[in-house]
Amino acid sequence: MNLSKTIGIIMDGNRRFAKQKGLATKEGHEAGARKLKEVLEWIKPTSIENVICYAFSTENWKRSEEEVQGLMNLVAKILADKELLSGGYALSVIGEKEKLPMTVRTAISFAENITKHFDKKLFIALSYGGRAELVRACNNLVEKGKTSITEEDIQNELYTKDIPDPDLIIRTGGRHSLSNFLVWQSAYAELYVTDTLWPDLTKEELLGLFERFSVATRKMGA
């Protein structure tokens, strides 16, 4: 298959999954975390080199204190997961990390250091917003004394500056929206939306989405 070097995934539907199954919201998020590990295994044999997953947005801080605390605890647990840390991906967290609890920041540092030798890259967007990323980039350039800003200048200040922009973004859960994810980087990306909730995503459906993208890409290049 002719696949993108970089893909983005908006992992939507954990709470609806929990509600449908009669589970607590926390259990829905835990199911979503397990699904992430599965999806990474499915992607590993493909030519995709970089995976960017939208895990927690800047807007998500507005959720209940109980849910946010549960999510932060889950994130710290995921970042210490032996399967994830030995799974073949160099881990990086992008977003406003200074807003994250110290326990999570400590877990991030450990995970990033112990996985840095792997070739494939996994970027987890935490406390992330595409607009906030652009504001950060512009502020960095102003601090450097820039009075005239080019696209290349902005590109070089993004969290993802060292990898190609995604050609494909997959969103589960049915919403046809980027929800402030990779606002700059997704300018030319194909958006593939499935009604399937994130924890319900199957290998067959994911590979089917890849095949659809590959066929469409070949046709455009013909």
CA dist 61 and 65 (Å) reads 8
User: What's the burial of 78, exposed, middle or buried (CB within 10 Å: 0-12/13-18/19+)?
Assistant: buried
**Domain membership flag for residue 1:** no
**Domain membership flag for residue 15:** yes
**Domain membership flag for residue 160:** yes
Query: What would the pLDDT profile of 7-40 be if each residue is shown by its tens digit?
Result: 999 999 999 999 999 999 999 999 999 999 999 9
Count structural domains, the chain: 1
pLDDT of 121: 98
Query: What would the pLDDT profile of 157-206 be if each residue is shown by its tens digit?
Result: 999 999 999 999 999 999 999 999 999 999 999 999 999 999 999 999 99
**Domain membership flag for residue 63:** yes
Task: Give the pLDDT band of residue 4 (cuts 50, 70, 90).
Answer: confident
**Are 49 and 88 contacting, i.e. CB atoms less than 8 angstroms apart?**
no
Residue 15 sits in which domain range? 6-221
pLDDT of 220: 57
- Determine if residue 95 is left, alpha or beta; phi over 0 gives left, psi from -120 to 50 gives alpha, anything else beta: left
Mean pLDDT of the chain: 95
CA dist 10 and 171 (Å) reads 5
Q: Report yes or no on whether pTM surpasses 0.75.
A: yes
Query: What would the pLDDT profile of 113-172 be if each residue is shown by its tens digit?
Result: 999 999 999 999 999 999 999 999 999 999 999 999 999 999 999 999 999 999 999 999
> Is pLDDT larger for residue 2 or for residue 213?
213
CATH number of residue 72's parent domain? 3.40.1180.10
Instruction: Give the active site residues.
Output: 12, 60
pLDDT average, residue stretch 83-102: 97
User: Helices 65-79 and 25-43, interaxial angle, to 10°?
Assistant: 30
pLDDT of 216: 81
Task: Give the pLDDT band of residue 215 (cuts 50, 70, 90).
Answer: confident
**Domain membership flag for residue 50:** yes
pLDDT of 222: 42
pLDDT of 218: 58
